[in-house]
Amino acid sequence: MYKKKPFFIVFEGIEGSGKSYQIKKLYNNLKKKGLKILKTREPGGTKGAERIRKLILKDYFGKNKSEEFDKYTDTLLYLAARNEHIKKKIEPALKKKIIVLCDRFVDSTLAYQVSGKIVKPGFIENIHKEILPFKPNLTFVLKVKIRKALKRLQKRRKKNRYDKFSKSFYIKAQKAFLKIAKKNKKKYYVIDNSTDSMHIENKILEIVLNKLK
């Protein structure tokens, strides 16, 4: 019923948008259909990329602000982690015709580093030309009411760098995600995930299954 083909699905959105939850649900639902699935994340996904992730997070939680990474150093670390992730995990899986689900990818870099930290987009684009051999087949942008997102973040027992940005930063980042999606309507689906409804889970599954036929 479903064609065995490489398919790369990305979930984007600000913290508290419910990405991790919806990826987990989609992963389980596709597994039930007998499909081969790989679930991964950025930054991270491989041993090397996860080490870089820890380095980035450690830098953000350091007490000495004067020793924090410059925004371009920070961006280069993200891109280095992405290169490792693509070469050692995503690309090999796609070659085996496995469906890959990824929590964050290129759009997060554009929303956070470019829109949020004002890194020059050309700086990132030039590196992506060298390390990106493909683009996602499908991207879900989960939008959320900021108040709802902040409430979800408050409930998290373990918080990392991403959970501690300002409200204004999240607003700016979400606007960036929505702007990117608006320019790429064929491969992007914007879904309001403000309510904790099973309807969202079913809607995402329906979209994916239609794409896999």
Can you tell me the mean pLDDT for 126-147?
Answer: 96
Asked whether 139 and 187 are in contact (CB, 8 A), the reply is: yes
Residue 105's closest CA among 78, 126, 87, 125?
78
Q: Give the Å distances, CA to CA, from 24 to 20, 146, 190, 204.
A: 6, 22, 18, 12
Taking the C-alpha atoms of residue 74 and residue 84, their distance in angstroms, rounded to an integer, is: 16
Write down the mean pLDDT value for the chain: 91
pLDDT above 70 as % of the chain: 92
- In the prediction, which pLDDT does 60 show? 63
Describe the crossing of helices 146-155 and 167-183 by its angle, rounded to 10 degrees: 120
Taking the C-alpha atoms of residue 41 and residue 101, their distance in angstroms, rounded to an integer, is: 8
Residues in the chain: 213
Taking the C-alpha atoms of residue 94 and residue 21, their distance in angstroms, rounded to an integer, is: 23
pLDDT confidence of 11, banded at 50, 70, 90? very high
The pLDDT tens digits of the residues spanning 17-61 come to 999 999 999 999 999 999 999 999 999 999 999 999 998 887 665
Token pair recorded at residue 208: 């994916």
- In the prediction, which pLDDT does 166 show? 80
Token pair recorded at residue 74: 């920070």
Taking the C-alpha atoms of residue 11 and residue 138, their distance in angstroms, rounded to an integer, is: 9
- The CATH number of 7-212, from 3.40.50.300, 3.40.50.10490, 3.90.320.10, 1.20.200.10, is 3.40.50.300
Is the pLDDT at 124 greater than 80, yes or no?
yes
Q: Domain residue spans in the chain?
A: 7-212
Taking the C-alpha atoms of residue 100 and residue 164, their distance in angstroms, rounded to an integer, is: 28
